[in-house]
Chains A and B, each alone.
Chain A
Amino acid sequence: DTGVSQNPRHKITKRGQNVTFRCDPISEHNRLYWYRQTLGQGPEFLTYFQNEAQLEKSRLLSDRFSAERPKGSFSTLEIQRTEQGDSAMYLCASSLSSGNEQFFGPGTRLTVL
């Protein structure tokens, strides 16, 4: 088991473009979470899945953000029509459904020019 992986590690895009990030969780973990972290702040919850079901989505999350976990394994996070305010580190984490210890990936750093 190699832990949670995220791709790409860095993404630079122009305002208005769409971007998609991928997260591969620890294989036996049923839960998968997405967080966003900006400089000087802690991770902010975006959404989470149990298997393929999206169980909770932050009400702060714009409609431009969408996440999927189609087969209950890897997940994708898409941001449409990116804005400069979307620049942040996007973190993925996974856990067993029976516990709440989350294992984090290295993150994808998004820069919107």
Chain B
Amino acid sequence: AQSVTQLDSQVPVFEEAPVELRCNYSSSVSVYLFWYVQYPNQGLQLLLKYLSGSTLVKGINGFEAEFNKSQTSFHLRKPSVHISDTAEYFCAVSGTNAGKSTFGDGTTLTVKP
């Protein structure tokens, strides 16, 4: 079984500032890791994923995340945020042989002008 903890429920930040959204996971098996974004009244959209290989993963909209196996973390970062990045962000994990994903409870990113 897997579990995901998103350490911050809300992150307010000013426009053009850097941001980090934290995600820790636990699993007894090898995992795939994902970050999704959800805008109001919309479905989830994949930002980036870690399947294997390089631990630094680049995604859409200028986001990146680093897989740290020893710390069981997969933090999401962006060097300069925009107002349009305001949304809910979900970290998710799945076993490499499993179908389902287990999601964290989300982090609300609010970008202020």
* Residues of A participating in the B interface, judged by any CB pair closer than 8 Å: 4, 31, 33, 35, 40-45, 48, 50, 55-56, 91, 93, 99-107
Contact = CB atoms under 8 A, between A and B. Distances in A.
A31 B94 CA distance: 14
Interface residues of B, number: 25
20 contacts: A31-B99, A33-B99, A41-B106, A42-B4, A42-B104, A43-B44, A43-B90, A44-B103, A45-B101, A45-B102, A48-B100, A91-B43, A93-B44, A100-B101, A101-B34, A102-B46, A103-B46, A104-B45, A105-B43, A106-B43
A100 to B, nearest CB: 5
Interface of B: 4, 32, 34, 36, 41-46, 49, 51, 90, 92, 94, 96, 98-106
A1 to B, nearest CB: 15
Given A100-B32, A100-B94, A33 B43 contact: no
B100 A104 contact: no
Contacts of B90: 42-43
